Amino acid sequence: MEDSFLLEMKPTEETFEPEPWAANPHLQTIFGSLSLRTVGRNAMLEHSREMIVEGGNGVRLLGYLSRRSGDESHGLVVLIHGWEGSSESAYMLSTGRYLFERGFDVFRLNLRDHGRSHRLNEGLFHGALTDEVLNAAAEISRLARGNSFIVGFSLGGNFALRIALRAPQAGIGNLKQVVCVSPPLDPYKATLTIDRGVKLYRHYFLRKWKRSLMTKQSLFPHRYDFHGLLHLGSCMELTEAMMGLYYDFPSTADYFGRYTLTGNALGALAVPVAIIAAEDDPVVPVDDIYGLESNRFLRCFVQKRGGHCGFLKPFPFGCLYERKVYDLLVKS
């Protein structure tokens, strides 16, 4: 690696060295999303209340605020899930609990058409809906007792990067740190990786996406009929079909380009950002992280192992990225 900023795991910091039997990237990826991680009491959920957040232009997003009792808080952490995840995803509940127990208020935000939010907006979700998530983040930041932070997972990490780029203009003046776990910087390449890689991931995302579309159709039958698309067998095929029917973009390339963050795309950062990723990620190619241009606001922590949003050690209940996120937030 030519740029030292790309790999900042110092000898005094924890590196991810899983037990040999738990080193497989698919094992790490799959168990990273299993509810097994969430067993036991969760004080964050005990203090959780539902909120509707305005995303601008009539858009409403569903979220859950967990505020610690008393007057003291290290700040408010906004968690953003990955594609076809939700505020109830295991990694959201586990990370939220970890941070809540250590002094942070937590807001778990659902992207449009994720979780139980399909009813809130007639328009469909897609990955380029930057404005509404940015506006929601700005509104949520005003709930903070002090500083605010954002932690995004996978596609949520890509959204978090876009928020970081525009945070000053959006008036999010108390945003002190953004952390992205396994973010796709090139969504076109990530989609191809899902389609051409291990079939399990393609089937997983397609099944959840099609189920989401049918939920949307049931709520807005006057606008949507997805029955003719259910036979499509890849994420790229379904994306291209949606482009011609329901997405208002001139081409698939234009669509993916709206949220591609490679090369010098993060050069305008004015908020500290940390990216946590693994070289063996089976969903998101790590090469794009190595190709990022240096930036004094950007730090990348790349591990040899960890899978996609995995990093479980001790397996399956301990998690390196949770420990790293906490460390980054308290030091920001």
pLDDT, tens digit, for every residue of 105-137?
999 999 999 999 999 999 999 999 999 999 999
Host H or E run for residue 65: strand 59-66
Cβ pair 262, 253 in contact under 8 A: no
- The count of other CB atoms within 10 Å of the CB of residue 228 is 9
Largest CA distance in the chain: 59
**Would you say 230 and 263 are in contact if contact means Cβ atoms under 8 Å apart?**
no
Rounded mean pLDDT, 198-222:
98
Task: Give the separation between CA 180 and CA 155, rounded to whole angstroms.
Answer: 9
Q: How confident is the model at residue 312 (pLDDT cuts 50, 70, 90)?
A: very high
Closest by CA position to 112, among listed 219, 251, 256:
219
Q: State mean pLDDT over 276-305.
A: 96
- Is residue 302 within 8 A of residue 289, CB to CB? The reply is yes
Q: For the chain, how are helix, strand and coil distributed in percent, rounded to 5?
A: 40, 15, 45
Give the pLDDT score at 70.
84
Q: Distance between CA 6 and CA 2 in Å, rounded?
A: 9
125 contacts 55 by C-beta, under 8 angstroms: no
Architecture of domain 4-193+261-331: 3-Layer(aba) Sandwich (3.40)
Helices (H), the chain: 25-31, 43-46, 90-101, 130-141, 155-170, 187-196, 199-219, 235-245, 252-257, 287-290, 320-331
Separation of alpha carbons 161 and 184, rounded Å: 10
Q: For residue 40, with 0-12 CB atoms within 10 Å meaning exposed, 13-18 middle and 19 or more buried, which class applies?
A: exposed
Is the model more confident about 244 or about 24? Answer: 24
pTM: 0.96
Reading the block at residue 193, the tokens are 């990786």
Is the omega angle on the peptide bond into residue 314 within 30 degrees of 0, that is, cis?
yes
Whether pLDDT at 89 is above 60: yes
Q: Which whole number is the average pLDDT over 37-58?
A: 97
pLDDT-derived band at 220 (thresholds 50, 70, 90) equals very high
Please, what's the b/e burial string for 86-108 (b: 16 or more CB within 10 A of its CB; e: otherwise)? bbbbbbbbbbbbbbbeeebbbbb
Q: Has residue 6 got a pLDDT over 50?
A: no
**Ramachandran quadrant class, 57 (left: phi over 0; alpha: psi -120 to 50; beta: rest):** left
